[in-house]
Amino acid sequence: MRTSGKAVDPAARLQFGRIVDEFVRWREVPADDRSPAPAWWWGPAFEMQNMQTPMPDQWCIKLGVAEGSTCADGARVFLESLSDQTSLPWPGDFPRRPKDSTG
């Protein structure tokens, strides 16, 4: 991946692809049972927030954005999912809330 002459770091690309797959698992859980979005999405999303490189079509489909959307567009999906949260899940409580959780 390249953008404006600057190559996207392969590790950043790998981490972003990982959270794209996690996003799909998270969205498959009914909203009332879904945990808050996990904090570990912040890092990969911030790394990609200024990258104008087009994402692979598969990532666009998984994130629900138009084909040809950029990595920055994909990063916005994650940042918006985190922006209004007041709590974060423990890793074991992702992607579903614990059964005894109310909030």
pLDDT digits (tens, 9 = 90+) for 48-101: 999 999 999 999 999 999 999 999 999 999 999 888 888 878 778 888 887 765
* Other Cβ atoms closer than 10 A to 15: 18
Gap between the Cα atoms of 71 and 53, Å rounded = 6
pLDDT at 33 over 60: yes
Q: Bridge partners of 70? A: 54
Lowest mean pLDDT among 2-6, 10-14, 47-51, 95-99: 2-6
How many structural domains is the chain composed of?
Answer: 1
56: in domain: yes
60: in domain: yes
| 21-46 average pLDDT score | 92
44: in domain: yes
User: Would you place residue 5 in the very low, low, confident or very high pLDDT band (cuts 50, 70, 90)?
Assistant: very low
102: in domain: no
pTM over 0.85: no
23: in domain: yes
What's the domain range around 13? 8-93
